[in-house]
Amino acid sequence: MKHRIVVLGAGYAGAYTAGNLARRLSPADTEITVVNAVPEFVQRLRLHRLAAGGEIETPQLADVFAGTGIRLRVARITAVAPENRVVAVADADGGGLLPYDTLVYALGSRVAYRDVPGVAEHAFHVTARPAALRLRDRLDSLDTRGAGGTVVVVGDGLTGIETATEIAEARTGLSVTLVARGELGARLSAGARAHLRRACDRMGITVREHTVVAAVEATRVRCTDGTALASDATVWTGGFAVDPLAAAAGLEVTDDGRIVVDRTMRSVSHPDVYAVGDSVRALGDNGRPLPMSCGSAGYTGKQAIDAIVAHLTGREVAHTKLVYTFNHISLGRRDGILQPVDDEARAKPAYVAGRTAARVKACIVRGSLWGTLHPTYGVPRRRRRLAAAPGTAPDPSWDATGENPSLAA
């Protein structure tokens, strides 16, 4: 029996990891399956642009993995049983169980509602393609009525800043307000903060600093200081959360649900499981957790690839660098900020802004897409034969309904 590798999720981290494993491991010994809820690759880095009215590519995963030998399963993951080494999935055909010998968990993150009343019911977000299209439809309706409208973006992290500036630039008939819990751009250097403020002023964005949202309603945002902001479309960018699937599976996770791993991205509780991307709590070389980002997806993915190949082929595991050196922020299509950070994750005084920064950010985004569409490019053509024993069959007594004799025991 071949060694079965199952990759959960085909975002930046999952697609990259699966493609490179396919190139480096011999198909005579391994079988790689990628499970993803939708058949397309979602460019999450550009969803704020899609919401504002732009067009972005939606490559089909079948095309991405064509010629790699990877099996694509378009299905929703309903449960993971690491003790039995199976994954339960649901699809149009009824779903079933996928056995694995090595599991790569790359399910990413989603919007975090932070238990704020009304957010789930009334707010929009840009962490998924359907959500971005829903916001786009709402902005279209505000433009169509001809009387303008007010958009309130809650959260001044990178996603909030990029969303507010993209909408303000593309939808000049709408009034945009950006709500910041503290000082606008607090994580940036003084010069970069000043540039950000000038960009907001130029685009007509109203900034509300030191403001905490108490609740979101259909037509307004209520703040803890008693004020209310009129809003025809509230966009929530107040952080990210991970799927509770890993915690429910019994993997060791942090308080926020991210999988705890060793230096090689291997689960500390279940050595057959690796985690990459936003799903993992990985300590960088500076001893600090890597942030949820595309850059972190690349570093954690490469480390997991090196570790899996080494373990399966009987080689020593190489350590990939785990660093975070820049914050890249787009401010519409023609402006941006590149903010270097030091080993303590603090902004350095120097920064790059304006069109140069916008071009660099655009190149980074295009490079991320190209790397996903060419998952085996640049990887050695020699495929490694496995040194480990082939996989074993999963426990047949396990199912996805919760009636599992082996688990009850």
Q: 3-class secondary structure for 218-268?
A: CCEEEECCCCEEECCEEEECCCEEECCHHHHCCCCECCCCCEEECCCCEEC
Q: Mean pLDDT throughout 321-327?
A: 90
Read off the pLDDT of residues 221-274 as tens digits, 9 standing for 90 and up: 999 999 999 999 999 998 899 999 999 999 999 999 999 999 999 999 999 999
- Give the pLDDT score at 382: 58
Q: Which residues pair with 240 in a beta bridge?
A: 111
Confidence of residue 384 (pLDDT cuts 50, 70, 90): low
- Give the pLDDT score at 396: 42
- Give the pLDDT score at 381: 59
On the question of pLDDT at 345 being above 50, the answer is yes
Max CA-CA distance within the chain? 68
- Give the pLDDT score at 144: 86
- Give the pLDDT score at 367: 87
Q: Mean pLDDT throughout 177-205?
A: 97
- Give the pLDDT score at 393: 44
Residue that has been written with the tokens 């709402």 in this structure? 138
- Give the pLDDT score at 344: 82
CA 329 – CA 163 distance, rounded (Å): 10
DSSP 87-115: EEEE-TT--EEEE-SEEEE---EEE--TT
pTM across the whole model? 0.90
- Give the pLDDT score at 261: 97
**What does pLDDT average to over the chain?**
91
Helix (H, G, I), strand (E, B) or coil at 376: coil
Nearest to 154 by CA among 175, 123, 131: 123
Confidence of residue 395 (pLDDT cuts 50, 70, 90): very low
CA 29 – CA 6 distance, rounded (Å): 14
Read off the pLDDT of residues 144-184 as tens digits, 9 standing for 90 and up: 887 789 999 999 999 999 999 999 999 999 999 999 999 99
User: CA Rg, the chain, in Å?
Assistant: 22
Helix (H, G, I), strand (E, B) or coil at 139: helix
Backbone angles phi, psi at 71, to 5 degrees: -90, 130
CA 230 – CA 218 distance, rounded (Å): 9
CA 316 – CA 45 distance, rounded (Å): 34
- Give the pLDDT score at 403: 41
Q: Mean pLDDT throughout 181-196?
A: 96
On the question of pLDDT at 402 being above 60, the answer is no
Count of alpha carbons within 13 angstroms of residue 362, beta-carbon side: 14
On the question of pLDDT at 392 being above 60, the answer is no
CA 188 – CA 341 distance, rounded (Å): 9
Residue 344 makes CB contacts below 8 A (sequence gap 6+) with 286, 288
